[in-house]
């Protein structure tokens, strides 16, 4: 296609599969390629945002980093959906729990994503918009969590534009039943909706905002594989 390569992805059209599993950290994408893909071929290294295509149990799939925050995932997923023919994007990432029953290592299947971002303003909608996941992906993810015996919850997350926030108001989000805080899912869901495609966020609790439980950067990069198992079961 004339639009590829894009300013941010160096691949030619056809080098990326219709299903892409994405992580904020490009080294996590590299880990997924090494652990889950047969015969992975690197298709992107622009700005160090690694991407690979291979097969998983005979099915073609790509993995790629998306960076931190909604502006970053917004760029990559827009280009994937609109220029590379991608139909399904699954984000695997970390989140901070604001739920007393979700602890470090537990999974969150993000059925919906609240946000404090102004990302939705570009669509000029005449009211509030509720970004949601693709239902069949949610259902299959839940079935996989049950099959694997992983601890999980399904529900709302909040995608924040700020990591360091002077007034996060996490107690107010918690009072509305929001499970965890992360930084990207809402933009993913909006881009999927606008392009008529599919999306899901599967998150691992990396820290607990209420109790102070934490993990290291190395643990977040290398040991959060349960959410990857679930994501690849959806391919």
Residue linked to tokens 């899901």? 200
CA dist., res. 133 & res. 198, Å (int): 7
The partner residues of 203 in beta bridges, in order of sequence, read 93, 108
Catalytic residues: 207
CA angle 103, 145, 32 (to 5 degrees): 85
- Dist CA 187 CA 69 (whole Å): 9
3-state secondary structure of 151: coil
Strands of the chain, DSSP E: 19-23, 38-44, 51-56, 59-65, 88-97, 107-115, 152-159, 180-182, 198-208
Of the candidates 48, 3, 22, which has an alpha carbon nearest to the alpha carbon of residue 188?
A: 22
Instruction: Report the alpha-carbon distance of residue 219 to residue 104 in Å, rounded.
Output: 11
CA distance 22 to 67: 9
């Amino acid at each position: 296609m004339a639009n590829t390569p894009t300013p941010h992805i160096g691949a030619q059209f056809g080098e990326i599969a219709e299903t892409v599993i994405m992580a904020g950290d490009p080294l996590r994408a590299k880990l997924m390629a090494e652990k889950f893909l047969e015969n992975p071929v690197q298709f992107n290294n622009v700005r160090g945002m690694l991407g690979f295509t291979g097969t998983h149990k005979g099915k073609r799939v790509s993995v790629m980093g998306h960076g931190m925050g909604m502006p970053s995932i917004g760029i990559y997923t827009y280009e994937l959906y609109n220029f590379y023919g991608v139909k399904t994007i699954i984000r695997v990432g970390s989140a901070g729990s604001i739920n007393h029953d979700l602890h470090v290592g537990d999974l969150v299947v993000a059925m919906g994503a609240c946000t404090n971002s102004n990302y939705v303003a570009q669509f000029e909608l005449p009211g509030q918009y509720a970004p949601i996941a693709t239902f069949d992906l949610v259902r299959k993810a839940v079935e996989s969590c049950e099959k694997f015996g992983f601890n999980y919850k399904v529900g709302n997350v909040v995608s924040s534009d700020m990591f360091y926030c002077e007034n996060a108001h996490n107690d107010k989000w918690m009072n509305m039943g929001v499970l965890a805080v992360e930084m990207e899912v809402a933009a993913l869901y909006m881009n999927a909706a606008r392009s008529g495609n599919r999306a899901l966020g599967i998150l691992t609790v990396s820290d607990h905002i209420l109790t102070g439980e934490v993990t290291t950067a190395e643990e977040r990069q290398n040991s959060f594989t349960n959410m990857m198992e679930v994501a690849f079961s959806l391919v």
